[in-house]
Amino acid sequence: MGRDVAALVRSPKQVRYEIQPLDPDEVRVLMPEVLFAPAIATGMRRGELLGLRWEDVDLPRRVLHVRRALERQALALGSGHRRRCRR
């Protein structure tokens, strides 16, 4: 059997970056900007945008599925449909 030529090659050095999460003030500034563009582009309400999960996003087909909405009263995720709602 021949020699292992992969042993002659150095592996690229991995650069590790420290994650620096946003502080609460930065989140308060950034959140309206993040929600503004999708709201204008789709016509979705704020609660519907806040209720999105990755499973609701179909990037290849460029489709968002509105399956739930964040309700202000209880600050909990709901189905987005109320019994008396007619949309």
Q: What is the mean pLDDT of residues 12-18?
A: 85
Strand-pairing partners, residue 70, are 77
Residue 83 — pLDDT band, cuts 50, 70, 90? low
At 23-70, the pLDDT tens digits run: 888 877 877 777 777 787 888 888 888 888 889 988 899 888 999 888
Tokens encoding 55: 């499973």
Beta strands (DSSP E) in the chain are: 57-58, 63-64, 69-71, 76-78
Domain chopping of the chain, boundaries: 46-82
